[in-house]
Structure formats: structure tokens, C-alpha cells
Structure 1
């Protein structure tokens, strides 16, 4: 059975709500899911999972969440070749850079060898439509199972 880790950082609870809804969608596909909220996660454990989902709010004018900074730096040197990944985040369009943390984390995962299998999910503040997040998780779980079946 496929194993997925979902690691997220949340300051106001918006990204945490997204993480829980995405996790619900992943679990609906029968995939094993582990959820970790930063700082209670170690980057090295990403190598132990088939699928990786990272989530972060965007802080200020396009910065990665403070809780993600050390984790992000400690990801350097990981081998994520063959890993399937996706990224989500919350942001505020009042800032010039909307949900840039999603792009930052997607680029890092790609740099480390992971394959991003769906567009990043970017939500303004909190999810108004919960189904968008649940569907994101469900889509990830289904695509992961398809990829693993081809191996």
C-alpha cells in the first residue's frame, strides 16, 4: 500500500484546515497517510514515503513560513528521486506575491528529484469550498496509486 506524508506549517489555522481536508481526500483513496505539523517533522523522513505533500502559508511579501525555514534548509542533500509530490498553501492577495511559498516548495522538491504530479493548490486565506481541498487530496492519492502500479 502506498504511503504518503503531509507536512505543513500554519500560523492562523488556514493552512492547517487545508491540510486536514487534503488528508481526508488522500485517505479516501485507501492510501496510508502520516500528517506532521512543523516543527514536529524531520526532512530525512521524506525519503521513507512514496508520496510527499507539503503545505505552507506565504508570509509577508512572498516569504516561506518561519516554521518552514529550517526544514527547507535541512532538505538539502535529500534524494527524492522516484517520489511523487504536491504542494498547497494559503495566502493573501493583499500582498504582491500570492502564495509564493507553494512555488518555493515545488521548486525545492523538483530540485531534489521528486516529481510534482499536480498543480499547486493556492487558497485565499481559508478554504471557502472544502471540496476543493478534499479533491486535491483525492486526486493526489489516485495519481500516486497509478504511478506506483506502473513500476
Structure 2
């Protein structure tokens, strides 16, 4: 049984809807799942080493920035070694702003730079996710679980 972390922040509830779809899909698998939110939980970056997979959900702030509640976490990632960890990133954004979904891309690229094995589909939705986008969240989970399974077979 693998240990998987869902870590998210949501301002309007859109990214939270995505995190709930991720959690619901994870319930189909025999993994230990921990859900934390940037707003409500103390999150130490070294905790990531305790998990086989980390699925991060966040929204993109107005000017393309990370959400305030995730900034310290992002800054503290810089010296982590995430080799052997499977990571996926998802989140909401708003196409009415010039910078669309950049927070998801920033976190994705940072995790990849730190050696994580990334789920290829970084999911960015415009405001509230529709049923097709929630299905993509489920596929993100399926891919992450497949990747975790392949790592445990090695």
C-alpha cells in the first residue's frame, strides 16, 4: 500500500472541487491517502518525503502568481530531493486575466526540477471544472497510481 498526499488550496471552491474528484478516485485504490489544505494545515516540505505520490491543487492568482497561502511552501521546496516521488499538479484559473494558469506550471516545473516523476497532464481549468475536466482529474489519479505501482515493482 502506497501513501499519497493531496495538498491543495482553493479561493472560490473550484480547485477544491477538483481535489474532491481526486480524493474520490483515490478511494478506488488500496492506498493510504492524506488530504491537507494550505489554509488549514501546517505543511513542512520535508513531509513530502513520507509519501510515494503528491498531488497538488492550486489556483492562479490575478497576476499569474501563486496563491499567498502556498508561497512559503513553494519557496521552501528549492533544496528538496524528490527523486522517486510521483507528483501531479492541477488547478483553476481565469482566462479573463493575462496570465492564465501559471501557478500550476510553476509548481509543476519546480517539482520536475527537484527530480519528481511527473504525471504528464497538468490540469488547468477555467474557473469551475466541468464534468469532462473532473474526468481528467480522475485520469490524473489513475496515471499517478500506475506510476507508483511501477516504481514499487522496481
Q: Please give the TM-score of this superposition, normalised by the length of structure 1.
A: 0.91
Shift of 1:133: 2.2
Aligned residues: 150
Q: Relative contact order (C-alpha < 8 Å, sep 6+): which is higher?
A: 1
Determine if the alignment matches structure 1 residue 114 to structure 2 residue 108.
no
Counterpart Cα distance in 1 of 2:79 and 2:140: 28
Q: Structure 2 unaligned runs (5+)?
A: none
Alignment correspondent of 1:131: 135
Matches within 5 A, 1:56-135: 56-129=58-131, 130-135=134-139
Shift of 1:68: 0.6
Contact 1:3 1:33 in 2 (8 A): yes
Q: Deviations over 1:72-122 (max 9, x none)?
A: 111222221111111101001111221111110011101211111222011
CA RMSD of aligned residues (A): 1.4
Counterpart Cα distance in 2 of 1:117 and 1:136: 7
Counterpart Cα distance in 1 of 2:23 and 2:145: 10
Alignment correspondent of 1:148: 152
Further displaced range: 136-145 or 50-59: 136-145
Counterpart Cα distance in 1 of 2:138 and 2:86: 18
Alignment correspondent of 1:44: 46
Q: 1:26 to 1:118 in 2, by over 3 A?
A: farther
Determine if the alignment matches structure 1 residue 20 to structure 2 residue 20.
yes
Alignment correspondent of 2:32: 32
Moved over 6 A (4+): none
